[in-house]
Structure 1
Amino acid sequence: MKEDKELLFNVATPLGFKVSTTKSYWEYITTIKHPHIKGMESDVILTLKNPDCIRRSKVDENVYLLYREIEYHNKNYHMCVVTNRNKGIIITAYITDRIKEGVQIWKKSK
């Protein structure tokens, strides 16, 4: 992470680890990687704070995928925020129609 003044947000997850991103990295995600989520910072923050479920990557045990159901273009989808738990950073975020494979490690109580 560069300087604090560039910090866009720093959010605690239900598992107790914090995730942050900078303005410049968020710009990279929303310009290059996934432009469809531009302007959806509040959905990403809410997904980090209050996900429906959290899954751990099969490939990298430090990578956690946090999912929350959202409405996008009048249909139900999932916001997925991919994080590195050890580094406390967002790797990427995107909208998907299904929850990916991986080990479920947390699920919201109903």
Structure 2
Amino acid sequence: MKSPVDFEGRSLRLTEERRRHILSHPEMKEMITAISETLKTPEKVIQSLSDSEARLYYRFYPKTPVGAKYLCVIAKIPRDDAFILTAYLTDSVKKGEVLWPEK
């Protein structure tokens, strides 16, 4: 996978270690290309409550290996770098400040 780009045009690194971590979860093996899609066209982006530099990108997928779920991609966005921490499937969107779509 080449470096994904988010909805703001920001390139995000996905290290081999983080890629292996994500793919260590069997349900994520079929979702690897959906990570780029979720970053590029999220339905919602939330500011992390626990880390001011982290953002949670969400997109709903009606068909995943474990049923209808949101894909959450967590990326750290410091000033000089941007990289993917993890990605997982979830039933719901976490609480926090909504960064996208703008109100």
TM-score with structure 2 length normalisation? 0.83
CA distance in structure 2 between the aligned counterparts of 1:102 and 1:30, rounded to whole angstroms: 27
Give 2:20's aligned residue.
27
Once the two structures are superposed, residues 1-30 of structure 1 have per-residue CA deviations (whole angstroms, 9 ceiling, x without a partner) of xxxxxxx42122113322121334301221
Q: After the TM superposition, which of the residue ranges 59-68 and 19-28 deviates more from structure 2?
A: 19-28
Q: Percent identity?
A: 27
Q: State whether residues 19 and 89 of structure 1, in contact with CA within 8 Å, keep that contact through their aligned partners in structure 2.
A: yes
Once the two structures are superposed, residues 71-107 of structure 1 have per-residue CA deviations (whole angstroms, 9 ceiling, x without a partner) of 2247321000000012311110000010011111112
What is the CA distance between 1:61 and its match in structure 2? 1.2
CA distance in structure 2 between the aligned counterparts of 1:37 and 1:74, rounded to whole angstroms: 10
Q: Please list every run of 5 or more consecutive structure 1 residues that lacks an aligned counterpart in the other structure.
A: 1-7
* Consecutive aligned runs of 4 or more in structure 1 exceeding 4 Å deviation: none
1:80 corresponds, among 69, 72, 80, to: 72
Q: State whether residues 29 and 92 of structure 1, in contact with CA within 8 Å, keep that contact through their aligned partners in structure 2.
A: yes
Q: Secondary structure at the match of 1:64?
A: strand
What pairs up with 1:84-103 in 2 under 5 angstroms? 84-86=76-78, 87-103=81-97
What is the CA distance between 1:37 and its match in structure 2? 0.3
